[in-house]
Structure 1
Amino acid sequence: MIRTGDDYRRSIQDNRDVYMNGERVKDVTTHPMFKPLVDIRARIYDMQHDPATADVMTVTQDGEVNAVGNALPYTQDDWWAKRRATDAVLEDVGGVVTRVGDETVGEMWSLYDGTDVLNEVDPQFAKNIETHIGKVLKGDPFHVSANTDPKGDRSLAPQDQDPDMLLHVVKETDAGIIVRGAKYETAAAYANQAFTKPTIANWGNAELSDYAVGFICDLGSPGLKFLCRGGFAGTRGDARDYPLTNRFDEVDTIVIFDNVLIPWENVLFYRHTKAASFIRATLHRYSAFAFVQRTLKQADQMIGTALFNARQTGLEKQPAVQEKLSQLAIWREGINAHLTASIALAERSPAGLMMPNQSLMMTGRCHALNNLPAMMHIARELCGGQICVTPNVAMFENPETKPWMDKYYTINDRWVAEDRRKLLAFARDLLNSDYAGHRLTFQLFAQSPPFAQSGAVYRNFDWDGPLNFVKNGADLSDRVMDGIAPKDGDSAVLKYYGDALRKAAE
């Protein structure tokens, strides 16, 4: 059943080993660098019960009320419902949060599509993923994703260096597998469970490997240690000077697996590189939608900030300013168009789920993220130098300096000094602060690096359409279409599922 915010807080008060800035954190629900995001996640749970938002946040299935974000998508309407719920959350909290569960639970649906692959090694693994999807739906945990390992020297095979540089199985027991290594996981220190999987995409000719393991990890398990980067919240003085930094910083963690027991019922695949290759190639089949939707809301933040700044000083009427604002709008509407079209032209997955149109979804993700740095710079340009020279809030409040700040920051009766200060503080935090730089870097790798995102476009785009158009237009013979080599990097499993997907679409 859907949980409340207090249910969630109690679930992570489990004496886990969390460290930040060299010190042990006793309670992540009250620590100043974790509390803002814990409170936001708690608010999302409470929105499921709030009469004003319950309808958009929940769905009733088989007589039970569940969270919309956790529900398997079977129709286009299911995706519209997920989109409305995410918008409702971001509007309610007043900002953009990325790792809160709905954008990572979809990764398990990708493995659900790989039932045939899992059955090749052990039918129990396919049953396990189906069971865990049901547990997420009914138990409503805060579910995150564990992908990136420390990796070490990438010119060496894992076996030729410290083997713990990649998470691996060290022992099998009657109860389950014992794993060692480490994973970087955003929000892990205050989440309930993580879908943990390898980052290796090219296994060569290997069929079996102790590194080819995927499982659901209970983040309260013995043997886990959470070593967190220092949070931004509370480190920049008055929160009014850095309103985003102090409310929306999502803490990243290196999770140490020090001989952690993973029960067999939580193992989704093991010593099966084909399954590992499948999940790497299809991991974002569903989760890309929620990720790109958040970039759309980030675009709205940038447009609103830049437009307010132009309007307050009357610059909006200048053609050069309108041209810059239009560039932001074109980028924003391009993201919106890809999201909308990916639902309108949604496809059936091999397991019978409804997935966003893969070519449109993956090209939309590249459009959103490849243009993000340039769009941030346009927003900075529209805000001008004031976001880097305006004094902090204390200067606006000190009796000796307040008259001067009021004089020079008040424009008219609509834009008085206090509102201008708030806008410029918001703009600085959105575009220029440590938090802004961190978010930009995070966005550029959070759903795999740009080359991998381009690879996803390559695998999902329908190349046959342009080839046939040119073949017919140039009156080429049929033989030019024969013997076309598989795309670079395609594995047998990708070809299999590509064929299955096309048949399902037909």
Structure 2
Amino acid sequence: MLKTGKEHLESLRDGRRVYIGRTLVEDVTTHPAFARAAQTISDLYDLKADPANSEVMTYVEDGERHSSYFMRARSREDLAKRSAAHKRIADLSYGLLGRSPDYVASFVTGMAVSPEVFNDTADRVVAYWRHMRDNDVYAAHAIVAPQAARDPKFYERENLPIPTLRVVGEDDAGVIVHGMKMLATGAVLANEIWIGNILPLAPENEAESITMAVPCNAPGVSLWSRKPLGTAAAEEFDAPLSRRFDETDAMVLFDHVHIPWERVFVHNDVPLSRELYFRTPAHAYGNHQSNVRFHSKLELLVGVASRVAQSTGADQVPAVREKLGRLASQEALLAGLIDGQLWGAEPWGDGYVTYNRRSMYAAMNWCVEHYSELIDVLRELCGGGVLQFPADCSVLEDDELRRTFEEFWHTPQLAAVERMKLHKLAWDFVGSEFAGRHQQYEKFYAGAGFIVRGHNYREAPWDHFHGIVDGLLDSYTHPSDVPGSPS
């Protein structure tokens, strides 16, 4: 079943507990901090439900039409359809919604490709995937322990409970969990949260190895939002990205929450709680979405950079053209890495396929390592231009001030109002709080850099590389091995 935007907004009015500081938000669809981002998600659902987009955005299974990102791919064509759906979703937000509804859904779909990995809970995993698919569920995830949990001996010495989420009890109906997980990006706008562990746990931490799913409005669950960024400006003209695309990040707290067994997928199994992401195509499905989403963002960045240069005539300077050419080459490089994930598709399990993992991890590492550099190029092209404009667009509402503004702020290339609009957009990309959040996000959304490079190490064909070296070494001899050579 395909959900409409109106239906998704209605589903968010469910009694969830969201805190901004000490303020409890009664309705995230109307609160100024979240309403415009909620509307963006609503628009996304309407995009998918529009019959004009059904060829790309949906597929048919079990007699019903579902969102394409729930499709378990059996061919390169299936993977391409999934990828095209990710691109349309990413383009709607210019790649600024990192955890849009297709992200966690792709992880769960990848798990449903190889449910046997889960042993006794395989049927639960498939059932949950069907639940998400059939109800067009938007799930966020929180799969990292809070930073405070990194020194458990401190809590032992102080006789304090470790703040990370763990199982504290169980009964015939399920388990009881208590503690905190991070970072539930998008959860304020989502229906459910997938809880797990993407980082290794110590063998003795069985109670923390819980992998489960929980509705955002479950009794005892609360979301503690960081400072919302969508209210920074009164008008969209002054902060066009912040106003529409702040997906929010939140810590998720569990106060003795009861989770029914049908939503528990891993329990008391430390290795499996992490390996499930790599022993299934989950990580490849989910992070292909991340690559595609970053590409949409990079296209916007390259376009803004070029328009800013054009607005002053700097695009005619050879050194500026060189910078723009390099940006364009970087966009093409990422596009090629994404295409490579399709052309190098890997078979998986019983007739399924997944994206090429080496190309996917290479693209992920490239994105993590280069975002700051890309933003700095745009920052350099903006120069002091983004600092030269009035505080906000209210100046345009006063006839005398507007005449003065239009006389002194134009350039031969661009009228003053259009120039201000462009530079406000550029500032929201490079200098606002929203921009700062995105710089932090792009560097760490997949974990610290060494974790991303660890994925690349794991997937590298070392036997092949070593074979090349060994074959070369075997192709010639040491002089002492040649007959008649001096001893």
Mark yes or no: TM-score above 0.5.
yes
Q: Are the equivalent residues in 2 in contact too, given 1:226–1:256 (CA < 8 A)?
A: yes
The alpha carbon displacement at 1:406 in A equals: 0.9
* 2:181 aligned residue (174, 180, 183): 183
The alpha carbon displacement at 1:281 in A equals: 4.8
Q: Which structure 2 residues correspond to residues 230-309 of structure 1 after superposition, within 5 A?
A: 230-279=227-276, 281=278, 284-309=283-308
Question: In the superposition, relative to structure 1, how do residues 326 and 476 fare at CA in structure 2: closer, same or farther (>3 Å)?
Answer: same
Question: In the superposition, relative to structure 1, how do residues 151 and 352 fare at CA in structure 2: closer, same or farther (>3 Å)?
Answer: farther
- Show structure 1 runs of 5+ residues with no match: 478-506
Match of residue 70 from structure 2: 70
Distance 2:20 2:387 in 1: 30
Identical pairs, percent: 26
Structure 1 position 154 matched with structure 2 position 153: no
Match of residue 132 from structure 1: 128
Amino acid paired to 1:198:
N
Q: Which structure 2 residues correspond to residues 359-378 of structure 1 after superposition, within 5 A?
A: 359-378=358-377
TM-score calculated relative to the size of structure 2: 0.91
Match of residue 51 from structure 2: 51
The alpha carbon displacement at 1:37 in A equals: 1.6
Match of residue 165 from structure 1: 163
Q: Which structure 2 residues correspond to residues 376-455 of structure 1 after superposition, within 5 A?
A: 376-391=375-390, 392-412=392-412, 415-455=414-454
Q: Are the equivalent residues in 2 in contact too, given 1:334–1:364 (CA < 8 A)?
A: no
The alpha carbon displacement at 1:295 in A equals: 1.2
Q: 3-state DSSP class of the match of 2:178?
A: strand
Distance 2:95 2:338 in 1: 20
- Show structure 2 runs of 5+ residues with no match: 477-487
Q: Are the equivalent residues in 2 in contact too, given 1:225–1:257 (CA < 8 A)?
A: yes
Match of residue 195 from structure 2: 196
Q: Are the equivalent residues in 1 in contact too, given 2:176–2:258 (CA < 8 A)?
A: yes
Q: Are the equivalent residues in 2 in contact too, given 1:158–1:165 (CA < 8 A)?
A: no
Q: Are the equivalent residues in 1 in contact too, given 2:152–2:162 (CA < 8 A)?
A: no
Q: Which structure 2 residues correspond to residues 72-151 of structure 1 after superposition, within 5 A?
A: 72-93=72-93, 96-112=96-112, 115-119=115-119, 123=120, 125-151=121-147
The alpha carbon displacement at 1:108 in A equals: 2.1
The alpha carbon displacement at 1:150 in A equals: 1.9
Q: Are the equivalent residues in 1 in contact too, given 2:410–2:419 (CA < 8 A)?
A: yes
Question: In the superposition, relative to structure 1, how do residues 351 and 181 fare at CA in structure 2: closer, same or farther (>3 Å)?
Answer: farther
Question: In the superposition, relative to structure 1, how do residues 409 and 80 fare at CA in structure 2: closer, same or farther (>3 Å)?
Answer: farther
Amino acid paired to 2:40:
I
- RMSD between superposed Cα atoms in Å: 2.1
Match of residue 483 from structure 2: none
Q: Are the equivalent residues in 1 in contact too, given 2:94–2:300 (CA < 8 A)?
A: no
Q: 1:297-354, CA deviations, whole angstroms, 9 ceiling, x for partnerless residues?
A: 1111111111011123222222211111122112211211111001110112346432
Q: 3-state DSSP class of the match of 1:172?
A: strand
The alpha carbon displacement at 1:116 in A equals: 4.3
TM-score calculated relative to the size of structure 1: 0.88
Q: Are the equivalent residues in 2 in contact too, given 1:6–1:42 (CA < 8 A)?
A: yes
Q: 1:386-426, CA deviations, whole angstroms, 9 ceiling, x for partnerless residues?
A: 112322322344323222321233234x6211211111110
Question: In the superposition, relative to structure 1, how do residues 352 and 106 fare at CA in structure 2: closer, same or farther (>3 Å)?
Answer: farther
The alpha carbon displacement at 1:171 in A equals: 0.7
Q: Are the equivalent residues in 2 in contact too, given 1:108–1:195 (CA < 8 A)?
A: no
Aligned residues: 470
Q: 1:151-184, CA deviations, whole angstroms, 9 ceiling, x for partnerless residues?
A: 4152335973644422110111111000001122
